[in-house]
Amino acid sequence: GLLGAIGVDVMRGLTLTDATAFGVVFLAEATLFLAAAALAVRVIERPVLGGTHQIVPGE
C-alpha cells in the first residue's frame, strides 16, 4: 500500500533504475510476508494451556 509506494520512491532516489527500486521493495515485502506466515504457524501449532477448548463459531 502506502508504505510500499513510499519505499519505491525512496529507492528510486537511491538507485538508478525503477526496476531495481521495485525489486528491492518487493523483496522486502516478501520477507515480511514470510515472517508473518512463520509467526502464524507458530501460533497455530502452540499447544493450548489448561486443557482443550472447544472452537465456537463467531468468537
Number of domains forming the structure of the chain: 1
Q: Tell me if 34 is assigned to some domain.
A: yes
Q: Tell me if 47 is assigned to some domain.
A: no
Percentage of residues of the chain with pLDDT beyond 90: 29
Q: Tell me if 14 is assigned to some domain.
A: yes
Q: Tell me if 53 is assigned to some domain.
A: no
Chain mean pLDDT for the chain: 85
Q: Tell me if 6 is assigned to some domain.
A: yes
The answer to whether residue 44 scores a pLDDT higher than 70 is yes
Residue numbers of the domain that contains 6: 2-41
Q: Tell me if 37 is assigned to some domain.
A: yes
Q: Tell me if 57 is assigned to some domain.
A: no
Look up residue 1 and give its DSSP letter.
Answer: -
Task: Extract the C-alpha cell encoding 26.
Answer: 518487493
Q: Pick the closest to residue 5 from 18, 17, 16 (CA basis).
A: 18
